Amino acid sequence: MTDFLHRLPEFAAHHPLLIAAFVGLLLALVFTEAARLFRGYKELTPAALTQLINRENALVIDLSPLADFEKGHIPGARHVLMSQFDPEHKDLAKARDLPVVLTCRSGTTAGNAARRLVKAGFTRVHTLGGGNAAWAQADLPMAKGRS
């Protein structure tokens, strides 16, 4: 180990681009993880979502386009178009103390909506990592139609 530490300055002097790339990647990783920790909502796996639904009766909101929702969604999920998503809506405000899980086709839209819920004062906000695609890939049941 001491030999490594003695040769490190020599390596750094001969390979400044590698050192700069390493430091850049390390800073990007630290920044990304810090942002994930402080964003105010948690990302769930399909298994963790199943537990949350079963144990705490979580409200699942699907933000997928209507055609995708009708092709397949998490059983019991309520459909809301992202263009009509309003954290201040009276029905959603009633669920302020419940765990709220947002999902969409791939998980990207749900993250944007989750940030809006956190900003509106919701404390138990979650997203499904990978969206409905991850749910289907986990071979969990999918409901079809507008139910």
Query: Tens of pLDDT along 9-49?
Result: 899 899 999 999 999 999 999 988 887 777 789 999 999 99
Q: How confident is the model at residue 147 (pLDDT cuts 50, 70, 90)?
A: low
Give the Cα separation of 144 and 123 in Å (integer).
30
For residue 42, which phi and psi values (nearest 5 degrees)?
-110, 150
Pair of tokens at residue 87: 């954290």
Global pTM reads 0.77
52-74 pLDDT, tens per residue?
Answer: 999 998 999 999 999 999 999 99
Give the Cα separation of 134 and 147 in Å (integer).
20
How many residues in total does the chain contain?
147
